[in-house]
Structure 1
Amino acid sequence: MTTAPLLEDTYDGAHPVRTLTGLFRGQRRNVGVATAAFVVKHSPVWVIPLLTANVIDVVVDHRPLRELWVTAVLMALFIVQNLPLHQLYVRSLSRAVRTVETNLRMALARRLQELSIGYHRRTSAGMLQTKIVRDVENVVESCRQAFDTGMAAATTLVGAVVITAFRVPEFLPVYALAVPAAAALVVSMRRRMSARNAAYRTEVEHMSARVSEMTHLIPITRAHALERDELSRMDATLVGVRQAGFRLDVTNGWFGALSWILMQLLSVGCLIGAAWVAWSGRFGMTAGDVTMLSSYFVALTGAVTALMSMAPIVTKGLESVRSMGEVLTSPDLERNAGKAEVGAVEGQLDFEAVSFAYADAPDESAVDGLDLHVRAGETIALVGPSGSGKSTVLNLVIGFLTPTAGRIVLDGRDLVELDLRTYRRFLAVVPQESLLFEGTVRDNVTYGSRDHSDAAVLAALRDANALEFVEEMGGLDALIGERGARLSGGQRQRLAIARALIRDPRVLVLDEATSALDTASERLVQEALARLMRGRTTFVVAHRLSTIRGADRIAVLRHGRLVELGTHADLLAADGAYAELTRLSAGPGVPVGG
């Protein structure tokens, strides 16, 4: 079976319309059914005026009443068919649109998982969320409205013009001149409203920002008894919204009234003109034709106006397609396809003349010529002042970054040749700020490892010094709140350690895992970390000397270069860079890791 190409592989940023059309390529059947259903269910708009003309002619010409009853039945049938066909239309279009909506979000989510960590660090999470939520909504709603409005306008135009061409073809030039002119006048009036709309939108955005600011400042406001001041600022903003809204409403009122007057005058002109032609006996026009032409004129004018007003809706959708394209076409990907899978890891890592420079500072090496042999099961502590390259080394170990020079060898194989997803199955990270999600204790501990039994989860919690507080909360099914809101910092860290323990990793990365904890919590976390590190290749970055002094070796970095390497005792005896850092750490508030 042939697999359909992924959207992120077929996206064409230079032709967003082509991309938008391609989104529905797999929904041709649903779109076709929806189109056919719409054409039939919308037919009363252009058929009823014709049947009304027949009714009037029956009365005026005193034709047999049987024609009146037949026409009445036809009218009823055309009207009643709207219900089943409208349901068919809604179901078919909804199935197509909702499928495209899901495919778009899946494509964006898939690409976000493939983009490098560097991309995510450069890009606002809020902006990415907007692309998945708002931009997709814009595309879907633009497609839906364009389909509804476009189909209604198109079927009305075609139906009215075709019937007029058969009944009174001489009237077509009137349509060709008057209908576009009327629509253009309405649209030009609508454009004058854009300034008022923009002013109102600006005031609303300002209000939204003020509300957000006010909610964040409530603790400060209340603590300093500044409620009245804050309310005064908010009142001024709300008054601005009210005034801008009032001006917009007045402008809308003028537009609505003038548009109605214009359309009514044009309709009256069409009606009187057609009546004069019928009265003069020209072209064989009947009284019914006069009514039909007048109705068609109104319908055609509305259809053309609707088509012209679709431009901003379509533009909005196309802009959202381009916005999503920033994610879908980003080249900053972590590519694993076709690389060798990792089936087992012993944990030996060799840095061979490794250098790395970030894209925004290519002339400044964050890591410069690092040579380091790490034995399987060895604990390496990385220390140095801020900007020395510690975090960059950790990201290189995880595979978030790729060396710009040199190579990292895992158990004899170059890391760039391996499928990093399979390598990371044998790796665990405990960061400074543990990343938990709303759910149960079990869900958080077994995240990514859901085939573990409750006994294994309890064992991991016990080794992480977390079992006691988990039982007090209610056990494995206890909810921890959004981002672990019900837990203290130390408790969150111990759950993160339990998550790492249950994965049974061969390579472990500890990034400031105890820096934000009080003394009591640090002791419990240190005990849990000691169990976690046993027998595993471990890279540790820590501020506190107590965390790193037990490492097998300590690597001292400065300006991205390895300046010292050895045990705690050996480095102190050498009285070099490490000894200087330890002396600095003895001063008030100065950490060893910087």
Structure 2
Amino acid sequence: MTTTTNAPAPDQRDPLGPDPDNPPPAGVHSLWRLRHYLRPHSVSLAIMLFASLAFVGVAVSIPLVMKALIDGPITDRDLGPVVPLGLCVLALGVLEAFLVWWRRWVQSNAVLQVETTIRGDLYAHLQSLPMSFHSRWQSGQLLSRATTDLSAIRRFFGFGMVFLVINIVQVTAVTIVLLFMYWPLGLVVAFTSVPVVWLSMRFEKKYVLISRRVQDEQGDLATRAEEGAVGIRVIKAFGRSRYIGDQYEDASRKLHATSMEKVRLSARFWTFLEVIPNIAVAIVLLFGAIGVGRGDLTPGELVAFITLMLSLVWPVASLGVILAMAQEAMTAAARLLEIFDTESAIVGGTRTIERPRGHLRFEHVDFAFPDALDEPVLRDVNLDVRPGETVAVVGATGSGKTALTALVPRLYDVTAGRVTLDGVDVRELDLVHLRRLVATAFEDPTLFSMSARENLTLGRADASDADIEEALDVAQAGFARDLPWGLETRIGEQGMALSGGQRQRLALARAVLARPAVLVLDDTLSALDVHTEKLVEEALRRVLAETTGIIVAHRASTVLLADRVALLQDGTITHVGTHSELLATVPAYRELLAADANADEEVAS
């Protein structure tokens, strides 16, 4: 789901994502804009509303039956009607309990389905957003929105919204009944709503701001927890557990302080809401007793009046809880809509290539990272990679090699110029189709907390066992067969149970297994030892002979895999030729390879 808005997207406002000091407005409109999630459950909502109104009717009826019981048979000392009226009260109580069960059962089913649908749409939308979005937003903030904020919305839809309706209807109905029974005391009850409304308006303005701060700080804390878990090896290696722990503790204490500020604000509000109805009850008892003494009220009317009055204590006192829940849900909805309102700048086309040959061209390509203040990373890049050809991209650190390869599967889009595959601008191709044609193995491979087989088949779910075995052989990743449960072994989050070289080889096998038209290797062999690298390179030559390849290379041995070499300097390709040609004619190229050769000699020695 993508919702358009005139407000700037979070990744356009702040390079770090949401701005906790300037949160977007959170109000009823935030929840209202999620109303389409409730539409499929309109029947359930109607049942909930009916059961709620029937519950109020039954709750009002019970004191009226008690009034008739006291003023009739008890006053007249006629025990005959007592049993039927008592059974009537019992039946009404049973009906009230049934209505509560019915409402909660229908309500829970509908609300959980709504939460599941929103969570699914949120995840799908996050997957559709470009890398520029994910590079700017903290993962903990996104996690907080997908868990804490969704829970806040579920609690309001499942509890607050229903009781808001029930309480308003109950207060209105009971007040009308009380006015008809004895209007002076009915006015006392009615006037108690004035301070409640005034306090609620003041509470709302302060609570929405502090609630947003708490939710943002929860996201920051989740980010620190995730970074501490993912980076545990680095933390332990540098002996910085105490330092990282102190940072987490500071964030935790900050969240605690803000939460306590929120609690104090809520406590003051709820205290006033508890006091107001109790004062009203005392006034009703006092003047009701006087009314009975004067004959203006019957004892049954006084009992019914007090019973009805006491039935208003919970609806009035719970208003603080419900309003707090509503404010949290509104803030949560606003935070979710920040993500839903962010539109992806990378939108797929509709074209497909039936028989891909893998002819890749960069035509006058410029590229700058979104919202970057620096100069463009790539400028006027021109490169023609013929079908079945392998081109190595060589350049100093920061020259733009990774950015160049990221443009092929459209992890980013060009700022100017175009990238074509078999003569078709990649922006015109269907995104899913394009990313099936292009497979990438990154220098820092990402593996998931699933089995080795599932990681391998991520890019090709229909791969046979023979295909998997072949890919493992190409990547020299046979170690996967020797894991405790073979390829069914779960390799742990981020593949931390494996060494860096093993992770790279598994990621390389995954890319090879996809059998793409274009294979992009972003310095994929950097973590391999010299012996393993030679074995991988020998197998890769057979794979690259059947596909178009782009290799980001730092080692001279890797460059030899390519048919031609492109030298990238300061964001532009200055020379293209064979390895021997560039080695003989381009001093900058010789210097790069000489530095690499010296580094290899130092490692070997």
Same fold (TM over 0.5): yes
Q: How far 1:246 sits from its partner (Å)?
A: 11
In 2, distance between residues paired with 1:237 and 1:408? 45
Query: Can you list the C-alpha shifts for 1:242-300, whole angstroms capped at 9, x where unaligned?
Result: 99999999999999888766644431221121221232123xx2111112222323333
Q: How far 1:405 sits from its partner (Å)?
A: 2.0
* Residue of structure 1 equivalent to 2:310: 298
* 1:376 lines up with 2:387 in the alignment: yes
In 1, distance between residues paired with 2:240 and 2:340? 49
2:528 to 489, 513, 517: 517
Letter in 1 for 2:141: M
Query: Can you list the C-alpha shifts for 1:220-263, whole angstroms capped at 9, x where unaligned?
Result: 78997998x99999999999999999999999999988876664
Query: Can you list the C-alpha shifts for 1:415-472, whole angstroms capped at 9, x where unaligned?
Result: 2222132122122111112222122222121124222332332232233322354145
1:92 to 96, 106, 109: 106
> Residue 182 of structure 1 contacts residue 301 of structure 1 at CA under 8 Å; is this kept in 2?
no
1:50 to 26, 48, 64: 64
> Residue 350 of structure 1 contacts residue 374 of structure 1 at CA under 8 Å; is this kept in 2?
yes
* Residue of structure 2 equivalent to 1:577: 588
* 1:504 lines up with 2:515 in the alignment: yes
In 2, distance between residues paired with 1:147 and 1:212? 33
In 2, distance between residues paired with 1:393 and 1:471? 37
Q: How far 1:583 sits from its partner (Å)?
A: 2.8
2:147 to 112, 133, 139: 133
Residues 1:54 and 1:247: Cα distance change in structure 2 (over 3 Å): same
* 1:401 lines up with 2:412 in the alignment: yes
* Residue of structure 1 equivalent to 2:505: 494
Query: Can you list the C-alpha shifts for 1:342-366, whole angstroms capped at 9, x where unaligned?
Result: 3231011122222222332377222
* Residue of structure 2 equivalent to 1:481: 492
In 2, distance between residues paired with 1:326 and 1:307? 28
* Residue of structure 2 equivalent to 1:550: 561
In 1, distance between residues paired with 2:340 and 2:351? 26
* Residue of structure 2 equivalent to 1:145: 159
Q: How far 1:181 sits from its partner (Å)?
A: 3.8
> Residue 556 of structure 2 contacts residue 597 of structure 2 at CA under 8 Å; is this kept in 1?
no
**Within 5 A, what are the aligned runs for 1:225-240?**
none
Query: Can you list the C-alpha shifts for 1:8-58, whole angstroms capped at 9, x where unaligned?
Result: 348898832431333312211011111212333454533322222223213
* Residue of structure 1 equivalent to 2:21: none
Residues 1:451 and 1:313: Cα distance change in structure 2 (over 3 Å): same
* 1:102 lines up with 2:116 in the alignment: yes
Say which is worse superposed, 68-77 or 467-476, in terms of deviation.
467-476
* Residue of structure 2 equivalent to 1:168: 182
* Residue of structure 1 equivalent to 2:12: none
* 1:353 lines up with 2:353 in the alignment: no
In 1, distance between residues paired with 2:237 and 2:458? 40
* Residue of structure 2 equivalent to 1:329: 341
In 1, distance between residues paired with 2:279 and 2:202? 17
* Residue of structure 1 equivalent to 2:89: 75
> Residue 436 of structure 2 contacts residue 459 of structure 2 at CA under 8 Å; is this kept in 1?
no
1:430 to 436, 441, 450: 441
In 1, distance between residues paired with 2:200 and 2:146? 35
Say which is worse superposed, 427-436 or 80-89, in terms of deviation.
80-89
Q: How far 1:378 sits from its partner (Å)?
A: 0.8
RMSD: 4.3
> Residue 431 of structure 1 contacts residue 513 of structure 1 at CA under 8 Å; is this kept in 2?
yes
> Residue 164 of structure 1 contacts residue 293 of structure 1 at CA under 8 Å; is this kept in 2?
yes
In 1, distance between residues paired with 2:425 and 2:256? 64
Say which is worse superposed, 72-81 or 85-94, in terms of deviation.
85-94
Residues 1:26 and 1:82: Cα distance change in structure 2 (over 3 Å): same
Residues 1:344 and 1:253: Cα distance change in structure 2 (over 3 Å): closer
* 1:37 lines up with 2:51 in the alignment: yes
Gaps of 5+ in 2: 8-24
Letter in 1 for 2:453: R
* Residue of structure 2 equivalent to 1:3: none
* Residue of structure 2 equivalent to 1:417: 428
TM-score (norm 2): 0.83
In 2, distance between residues paired with 1:198 and 1:362? 30
Gaps of 5+ in 1: 1-5
Query: Can you list the C-alpha shifts for 1:93-141, whole angstroms capped at 9, x where unaligned?
Result: 1222112112211221221222122222222222222222222222222
* Residue of structure 1 equivalent to 2:13: none
Residues 1:558 and 1:419: Cα distance change in structure 2 (over 3 Å): same
**Within 5 A, what are the aligned runs for 1:144-223?**
144-169=158-183, 171-181=185-195
> Residue 452 of structure 2 contacts residue 480 of structure 2 at CA under 8 Å; is this kept in 1?
no
In 1, distance between residues paired with 2:337 and 2:70? 57
Q: Identity rate of aligned residues, in percent?
A: 28
* Residue of structure 2 equivalent to 1:532: 543
In 1, distance between residues paired with 2:138 and 2:255? 29
> Residue 354 of structure 1 contacts residue 371 of structure 1 at CA under 8 Å; is this kept in 2?
yes
2:326 to 300, 303, 314: 314
1:268 to 261, 266, 282: 282
In 1, distance between residues paired with 2:361 and 2:427? 13
